Amino acid sequence: MFDQPIVFVDLETTGGSIIHDRITEIGIIEVGPQGVSEWSTLVNPQTSIPPFIERLTGISNAMVAEAPTFAELADEVLQRLQGRVFVAHNARFDYGFLKNEFKRHERNYRATVMCSVKLSRRLFPDQFKHNLDSIIARHQLPLESRHRALSDARAVWLFFRKLEQEMPEQLRQACAELTLRPALPPYLDADVVDDLPEAPGVYFFYGENDIPLYVGKSTNIRKRVMQHFSSDHSAGKEMQLSQQVRRLDWVETAGELGALLTESRLIKRLQPTHNRRLRRNTDLCAWQLRPQEDSFLKPELVYARDLNFGLQEH
């Protein structure tokens, strides 16, 4: 499948936020020239595990009380992951959690990431569900338990083994396509790009001296930003933007409408050089109905340079 060794990884955590929540268990299956090995450990999150998470995973506060902290495990975990393709179900969740934990302890970690959800969607587009339970049932994977880190990592590994036996060429092609990364602009930090969320919002490209170059919106910030870089060789505007960009930032919104409104407001405020369509045009004009002494409304031509059209009644 890959030229590098592979690690199948799963985490259990105190919740879904990579900023506020912490890891409670790590499961890693290493697959390489030396064969297959399994490793797992409980992790003391140094915070309380919510009751519903306890019920879901079976990991209690008492179980992790004497477990090592991530600070104590960081070097060993990094050694097991470094230089290997990172495979997980909903991989950006597990990868994001680990990157954040490593960052908190002043260690850098980057990897080629492969998501089994995306792989399942690519190879089985006719299937409606691609969660781990559905994959286990669909492919009749022999698994004794769920919602513990090592057993879930094992499920993903068994899924890959099944695909390698039944459709090896399709698997290799899908893996190659899903792990293909566009060439990033030379001045952009790859770690920042890795942190891009798959969520609605607005993104910003800045040039030298932090000059705003471009503001864009998307229902999936990560996907849209990567499209900019994927097409920079074929579109003159994208090529120019890639050569000029020095910094990338973003703001998440509640949904598509929020992204649209935020984009429009920030383009007018920042006046980025590559946004022409939505930049404030002082020559815009409109007819405004103004009340007269005789109670009639009289149409009058007004200009955007004099009025904010969005605040007018007529």
Q: What domain count does the chain have?
A: 3
- Residues 235, 172 share a domain: no
Domain-embedded: residue 17 = yes
pLDDT of residue 194: 80
The CATH code of the domain that includes 232 is 3.40.1440.10
Q: Provide the Cα torsion 255, 260, 262, 267; round to 10°.
A: 150
Q: How is residue 284 written in tokens?
A: 């815009």
Domain-embedded: residue 73 = yes
pTM comes to 0.72
- Residues 85, 66 share a domain: yes
Range of the domain at 234: 190-270
- Pick from 68, 80, 90, 75: which is nearest to 22 by CA? 68
- Residues 163, 23 share a domain: yes
- Residues 286, 260 share a domain: no
Domain-embedded: residue 68 = yes
- Residues 84, 220 share a domain: no
The CATH code of the domain that includes 75 is 3.30.420.10
Domain-embedded: residue 233 = yes
- Residues 286, 264 share a domain: no
Give buried/exposed letters for 112-124 (b at 16+ CB in 10 A, else e): bbbbbbbbbebeb
Q: How is residue 214 written in tokens?
A: 């471009």
- Residues 24, 119 share a domain: yes
- Residues 124, 166 share a domain: yes
- Residues 249, 104 share a domain: no
Q: Given the structure tokens 């094992």, which residue do they identify?
A: 154
- Residues 260, 216 share a domain: yes
- Residues 45, 162 share a domain: yes
* pLDDT by 10s per residue, the chain, length 314: 677 899 999 999 999 888 899 999 999 999 998 899 999 999 999 999 999 999 999 999 999 999 999 999 999 999 999 999 999 999 989 998 999 999 999 999 989 999 999 999 999 999 999 999 999 999 999 877 777 999 999 999 999 999 999 999 999 999 998 887 777 787 888 778 888 888 999 999 999 999 999 999 999 999 999 888 875 445 567 778 888 899 999 999 999 999 999 999 999 999 998 887 655 555 567 777 878 777 788 888 776 666 655 555 55
- Residues 295, 170 share a domain: no
Q: Given the structure tokens 């770690």, which residue do they identify?
A: 191
